[in-house]
């Protein structure tokens, strides 16, 4: 299977599994990721997700250049649209998604990681938008999401030059939250996903929604939305449990209600 899905208790792990092509994203893989998200959406017991790449070299080296070269205009359009749809879905997905970037995250691979909520990187990882080297520009959100995750100046430097940015540099610019030795990456990603999974899912999901809005234009409207969602939290059982547990000096158990 070019995409694997595994459950580790409350954590789901999606693995891009085409290491012979550095996990370059084929249309089939995008469709499979979409159907895994359907499955996860129906299963409230999965509270956080990790996306990583199979093999030692790559998270994903981007769009499938071989498939693009051969594609008709209509096929290229379907492929490009599917990428947009899947990355937008990942960004808006009502559960947190961590990218465990184990190697190259280039082009569409970097854009995929950018659509995730949190990026953890292996010391072996490198990020980049090399489209300029192929005579194109980032087309799956890289111009927008890279500038927002880092800074307009850094995004322009990477996109204009197409150069690769090593993990340590990605960390300095906010592109990677943390950098770990390769052997430690998955353990750290799972620990983070498990920690988030112990938190009230509604509060995590609502926070994700409004943090995403913070990056869009309308600050006043988004603050109003934040206020509404904050008030709605007080209709949940998890809010009562969380506050009661704090006052009773015990560990809270959140049920997602
Ligand atoms: N697609 C397909 N195959 C790929 C690939 C890719 N992106 N990247 C690597 N491979 C394949 C190689 O062809 C090679 O296959 P074989 O020759 O063994 O059959 C195998 O993976 C191993 O790669 P290398 O032999 O090149 O490995 P190296 O260690 O020497 O080099 C590398 C690693 C990452 C530096 C190199 O593979 C590389 O530069 N890869 C290309 C990276 C890249 O340019 N990525 C950006 C792709 S463009 C659009 C929206 C979005 C997009 C386009 C349009 N619209 C809205 C219209 C997205 C575009 C992109 O992502």
DSSP states of 139-195 as a string?
-SSHHHHHHHHS-HHHHHHHHHH---EEHHHHHHTTS-SEEE-GGGHHHHHHHHHHH
Q: 115-144: per-residue pLDDT in tens?
A: 999 999 999 999 999 988 888 888 898 988
Contact 60, 14 (CB under 8 A): no
pTM attached to this predicted model: 0.94
Q: 38-63: per-residue pLDDT in tens?
A: 999 999 999 999 999 999 999 999 99
Question: Quick one: which atom of ligand 1 is closest to the CA of 63?
Answer: 61
Q: Inform me whether the pLDDT recorded for 231 exceeds 70.
A: no
Instruction: Look at ligand 1, atom 12, and give the residue with the nearest C-alpha.
Output: 21
Between 70 and 93, the more confident residue is 93
d(CA 257, CA 183): 37
User: Which domains are assigned to the chain?
Assistant: 3-197 (3.90.226.10), 201-247 (1.10.12.10)
Helix segments in 27-151, DSSP class H: 27-42, 65-70, 73-92, 108-115, 142-149
Q: 163-202: per-residue pLDDT in tens?
A: 999 999 999 999 999 999 999 999 999 999 999 999 999 9
Q: Inform me whether the pLDDT recorded for 72 exceeds 90.
A: no
Q: Inform me whether the pLDDT recorded for 230 exceeds 70.
A: no
**pLDDT at res. 219:** 60
Q: Tell me which residues have their CB closer than 6 angstroms to ligand 1.
A: 21-22, 24, 61-66, 80, 83, 104, 106-108, 130-131, 134, 139-140
């Amino acid at each position: 299977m070019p995409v694997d899905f595994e459950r580790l208790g409350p954590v789901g792990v999606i693995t891009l599994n085409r290491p012979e092509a550095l996990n370059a994203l084929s249309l089939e893989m995008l469709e499979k990721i979409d159907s895994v998200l359907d499955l996860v959406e129906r299963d409230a017991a999965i509270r956080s997700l990790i996306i990583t790449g199979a093999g030692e070299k790559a998270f994903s080296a981007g769009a499938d250049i071989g498939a693009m070269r051969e594609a008709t205009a209509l096929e290229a359009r379907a492929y490009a649209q599917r990428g947009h749809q899947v990355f937008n879905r990942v960004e808006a997905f009502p559960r947190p998604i961590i990218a465990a970037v184990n190697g190259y995250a280039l082009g569409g691979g970097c854009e995929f990681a950018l659509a995730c909520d949190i990026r953890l990187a292996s010391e072996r990882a490198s990020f980049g938008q090399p489209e300029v080297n192929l005579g194109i520009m980032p087309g799956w959100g890289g111009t927008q999401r890279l500038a927002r995750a880092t800074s307009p100046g850094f995004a322009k430097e990477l996109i204009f030059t197409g150069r690769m940015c090593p993990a340590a540099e990605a960390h300095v610019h906010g592109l990677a939250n943390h950098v770990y030795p390769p052997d430690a990456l998955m353990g750290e990603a799972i620990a983070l996903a498990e920690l988030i999974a112990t938190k009230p899912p509604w509060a995590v999901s609502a926070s994700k929604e409004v943090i995403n809005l913070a990056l869009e234009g309308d600050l006043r409207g988004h603050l109003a939305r934040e206020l509404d969602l904050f008030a709605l939290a007080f209709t949940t059982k998890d809010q009562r449990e969380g506050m009661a547990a704090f006052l009773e000096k015990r560990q809270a158990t959140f049920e997602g209600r």
